[in-house]
Structure 1
């Protein structure tokens, strides 16, 4: 529903507010337009106040009987990822063609590049989250897609014991995006897919028993 609404709205909402230094471009044309705070926006039947990247309320620009909104504000309201490629001057909406490894900027005490810990069933993944903590415990880490990606493809394996109550949450809004009751050790490496459009940070956690290890290959887990 949201994606259908997005297509309809975006057809009249193509003013990009991406901090691209557009004023320096040579193909800009000066126009006369007006801010129109009387225009309201509904998303799935609920009125929504659009905001800029700093959280300030914004009004659309009216020009020749058409209303224009910053594309970032619309994408945030609909939960659709938006990014900008400065090299090609391209606005990217939704899922990207090429995946982006979660290894980039991943930080956690269990982040390792030790081949003894990054290898699973004969394949060396070069970088991994390898939680070998002692005792019954919660295994958890953070990811920061920063609203730039639509989907997370997370690979994970339970070693020498199952992972239970595995959960992926929107950490800024305390909303559960995905929950798996049990990831069995016998399953080997599994891939969990979750929609993360419009989400800034993720809290990923699960429960493991003493002696069990949580293995997440960072180079083959990715955003799109």
Structure 2
């Protein structure tokens, strides 16, 4: 969904932020600019107050006929993920071109993560590292993911084995808001979900499994972007 900015008296908005960690060393140029705390902003028709990463209010900077706001404030307002690459001095907004496997941010206090080749294969393909719940009895299963607000999308692959999974969801663990709810049929095979996770720090993945059923999630081909 496209989102628009309405900024009274602004000649333009340029994204620049010390809060994103952008320091260019000798490339910095000193300028004379002015803070303008009187300027107001609307995002999709609603009032918006720019803030830094600690929640303190920020005033836009007016310089040479243009209005400057921190890039992190822009990303928060528009629901776009942000990351800073210090090695290349690059601010990354939105989706990354390459996916980042969820394996490194996977968290589960149980023993359902496995790299045992007898459990990591599905339909003839070995996924090497998976979440696989094949315990006995009807049960609830779940695990945590920690994207830490760095990514725009979660591409999650799942499969029901033996019995259909009638209840499956991914939620924001802080607010319990469900970002995706569905059922997974055995006949679906390996099912792929693309879920908007912009700005979310931690996620909870849940499945309600029937007796005789298993829940399979490859951690190598499920990824953030």
* Fold match by TM threshold 0.5: yes
Cα distance in 2, alignment partners of residues 65 and 19 from structure 1 = 24
Does the aligned pair in 1 maintain the 2:20–2:71 contact within 8 Å?
Answer: no
Partners of 2:52 and 2:135 in 1: CA distance: 42
SS at match of 1:42: strand
1:51-200 correspondence to structure 2 within 5 Å? 51-108=51-108, 109=110, 110-180=112-182, 182-200=183-201
Counterparts of 1:26 and 1:103, CA distance in 2: 38
CA distance in 2, matches of 1:118, 1:160: 16
Once superposed, what is the RMSD of the aligned Cα atoms? 2.0
Aligned to 2:202: 201
| TM-score, length basis structure 1 | 0.89
Using the TM superposition, give the Cα deviation of residue 49 of structure 1 relative to its aligned residue in structure 2, in angstroms.
2.3
> C-alpha displacement at 1:62, in angstroms?
1.8
SS of equivalent residue, structure 2 residue 32: coil
Partner of 2:221: 220
TM-score normalised according to structure 2 size: 0.89
The answer to whether the 8 Å contact 1:18/1:84 transfers is: no
Post-superposition CA distance 1:102-149 (Å, at most 9, x none) = 011322122211212211122111110111233222221111111111
The CA deviation at 1:25 is: 0.7
Q: Secondary structure at the match of 1:13?
A: strand
> Is contact 2:20–2:83 with CA below 8 Å preserved after alignment?
no
In 2, distance between residues paired with 1:50 and 1:173? 22
Q: Distance in 2 between matches of 1:134 and 1:13?
A: 57
Quote the Cα distance in structure 2 between the aligned partners of 1:162 and 1:50: 46
State the shift of 1:59 in Å: 1.9
8 Å contact kept, 1:17–1:72: no
Can you list the C-alpha shifts for 1:19-72, whole angstroms capped at 9, x where unaligned? Answer: 5361x6111100122222222222111112222222222222222232211111
| SS of residue matched to 1:75 | helix
Unaligned runs of 5+ in 2: none
CA contact (8 A) 1:102 1:223 kept: yes
Aligned length: 219
CA distance in 2, matches of 1:17, 1:201: 25
More helix by share: 1
CA contact (8 A) 1:79 1:199 kept: no
